[in-house]
């Protein structure tokens, strides 16, 4: 499972060889710990106008070393491009080219984040063009960054301003090491009940359930939510009972053996949450399976089981959760989709259908969650190093692992951090969306 190649090219002979042969040179990414500073160097805020001023003031407030310009040799941890006032594509050049001049100073695992407005809400063609231009600019720039640096954007929808809490919550996540494997993506925000900086335990007082939590990504999600202060119920099938108990112990959570495809799964979760904690606030639909076959060879059992676990169970459980008085206080749901559900993947028609279905469900459910001050979003992982992906044949796995801007597979923790963000107070303005955690996989958008 370990990515031996990345270890090999990280030092000495391996590094020199990779450089000479022009091979991928993935670097170890800076990952989140509660003790670390938000950034490990200065943040440069580029752009004119009130938005840029407001963002710079807020970053100062977070204790960052904020600059509006910087000397030619100093290393930079983050570049924030505030582009909220664009009304013609010609206006993009000043900030874009200024950023270009600073890219060589960007530290390993550095950050470039744009803040711009939603193109779809622009009435004027020139304004819409300018706003949409940011999309192509940022996604291309992200592919030029090296050494674990990432490029992502915050898109302001109606009502949100560059320095509003919803925008700042998303910006803080994209600047932080929590977004290590998020690259080339946009987070769209509207005004919402948001606390951009929730401190060391942003989920204190919250009760979460994570399905499929015995191992892999689910275990990492349970660990991240627990570390962030939530009480966590870990659900997995009875055959995984031993591993489930061990994981629950390790993260200080409560284990519940249940098959999510059973009729009473949601009720059993609600009963346990009610009994132990009196409420349920966060649901993470992580349990998922693959039963890969080319469609020409696909049988009914393979098709049906994937649909049953990956989407039908979520639809049924959400009905029960949303009907419950225990799930009323700013409820959050986060579902696991997949890049296979966005770009498609050979041999995965059943899985791709189920994961695209998750995206459809999330979009349509957003208003229902908003009624209670809550939100529902999906996370679409790309290639993540887990037991699921360790079963992929070696050559295919090696290609899949490198085919992204960061030239490596993500870790379960990377998906978990994105989910902890979407479950937390900083993501109050994010609803009905899909956040890819894929290192800017070359497949799909
Ligand atoms: P995994 O196979 O390692 O773990 C999945 C867990 O879900 C297991 O513990 C399993 O017992 C549990 N589970 C399966 N069916 C269940 C059921 N009916 N009821 C309760 N629990 C059940 O998988 P993983 O790689 O950790 O993936 C987790 C999620 O992330 C899945 O939804 C998967 O589709 C998605 N995902 C993974 C990747 C990746 O690269 N690993 C990529 C994209 C999406």
Per-domain residue ranges of the chain: 30-189, 207-437
The average pLDDT across 47-74 equals 94
Q: Are 208 and 423 in contact (CB under 8 A)?
A: yes
The average pLDDT across 247-265 equals 98
The average pLDDT across 317-329 equals 97
Cα(346) to ligand 1 centroid in Å equals: 19
Cα(430) to ligand 1 centroid in Å equals: 24
* DSSP calls for 116-185: EE-GGG--SHHHHHHHHHHHHHHHHHHHH--TT-EEEEEEE-TT--TTSHHHHHHHHHHHSGGGTT--S-
Q: Are 154 and 171 in contact (CB under 8 A)?
A: yes
CATH value of 207-437 in 3.40.190.10, 3.20.10.10, 3.40.50.720, 3.30.420.10: 3.40.50.720
Backbone angles phi, psi at 320, to 5 degrees: -65, -45
Are the folds of 30-189 and 207-437 the same? yes
- Domain 30-189: give its CATH architecture: 3-Layer(aba) Sandwich (3.40)
Burial class (CB in 10 A: 0-12, 13-18, 19+), 275: exposed
Report the C-alpha gap between 109 and 402 in whole angstroms.
17
Tens digit of each residue's pLDDT (9 = 90 or more) over 262-318: 999 999 999 999 999 999 999 999 999 999 999 999 999 999 999 999 999 999 999
341 lines ligand 1 (CB under 6 A): no
The answer on pLDDT for 429 being more than 80 is yes
388 lines ligand 1 (CB under 6 A): yes
Reported ipTM: the value is: 0.99
Tens digit of each residue's pLDDT (9 = 90 or more) over 391-408: 888 888 888 888 899 999
194 lines ligand 1 (CB under 6 A): no
234 lines ligand 1 (CB under 6 A): no
Q: Which residues neighbour 278 within 8 Å (Cβ) at sequence distance 6 or greater?
A: 326
Cα(386) to ligand 1 centroid in Å equals: 9
Cross-strand bridge partners of residue 114: 81, 153
Residue the block writes with tokens 């958008």: 445
Helix axes 92-102 and 125-144, enclosed angle (nearest 10) = 10
The average pLDDT across 418-422 equals 98
User: Is the pTM for the entire model greater than 0.90?
Assistant: yes
């Amino acid at each position: 499972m370990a990515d031996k190649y990345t270890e090999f090219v990280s030092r000495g002979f391996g590094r020199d060889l990779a450089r000479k042969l022009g091979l991928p040179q993935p670097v170890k990414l800076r990952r989140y710990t509660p003790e670390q500073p938000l950034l490990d160097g200065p943040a440069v805020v580029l752009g004119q106008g009130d938005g840029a001023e407001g963002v710079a003031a807020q970053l100062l407030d977070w204790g960052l070393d904020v600059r509006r310009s910087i000397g030619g040799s100093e290393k930079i941890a983050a570049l924030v491009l505030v582009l909220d006032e664009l009304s013609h594509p010609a206006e993009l050049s000043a900030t874009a080219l200024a950023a270009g001049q600073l890219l060589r100073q960007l530290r390993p695992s550095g950050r470039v984040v744009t803040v711009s407005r939603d193109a779809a809400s622009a009435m004027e063609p020139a304004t819409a063009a300018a706003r949409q231009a940011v999309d192509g600019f940022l996604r291309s720039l992200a592919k030029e960054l090296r050494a674990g640096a990432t490029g992502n954007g915050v898109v302001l929808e109606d009502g949100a301003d560059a320095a509003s809490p919803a925008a700042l919550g998303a910006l803080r996540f994209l600047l932080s090491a929590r977004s290590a494997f998020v690259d080339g993506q946009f987070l769209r925000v509207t005004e919402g009940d948001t606390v951009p900086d929730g401190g060391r335990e942003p989920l204190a007082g919250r009760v979460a359930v994570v399905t499929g939590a015995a191992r892999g990504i689910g275990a990492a999600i349970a660990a991240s939510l627990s570390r962030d202060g939530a009480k966590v119920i870990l659900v997995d099938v009875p055959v995984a009972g031993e591993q489930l108990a061990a994981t629950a112990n390790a993260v200080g959570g409560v284990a519940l053996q249940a098959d999510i495809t059973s009729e009473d799964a949601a009720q059993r979760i609600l009963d346990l949450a009610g009994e132990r904690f009196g409420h349920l606030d966060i649901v993470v639909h992580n349990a998922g399976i693959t039963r890969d076959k080319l469609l020409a060879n696909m049988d009914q059992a393979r098709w049906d089981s994937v649909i049953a676990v990956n989407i039908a169970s979520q639809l049924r459980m959400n009905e029960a959760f949303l009907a419950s008085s225990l799930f009323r206080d700013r409820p959050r749901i986060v579902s696991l989709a997949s890049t296979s559900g966005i770009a498609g993947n050979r041999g995965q028609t059943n899985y791709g259908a189920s994961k695209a279905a998750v995206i459809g469900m999330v979009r349509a459910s957003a208003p229902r969650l908003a009624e209670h001050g809550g939100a529902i979003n999906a996370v679409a992982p790309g290639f993540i190093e887990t037991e699921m992906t360790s079963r992929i044949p070696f050559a295919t796995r090696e290609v899949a692992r490198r085919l992204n801007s960061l030239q490596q597979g993500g870790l379960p923790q990377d998906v978990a951090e994105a989910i902890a963000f979407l479950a937390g107070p900083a993501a109050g303005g994010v609803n009905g969306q899909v956040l890819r955690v894929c290192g800017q996989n070359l497949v799909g958008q």
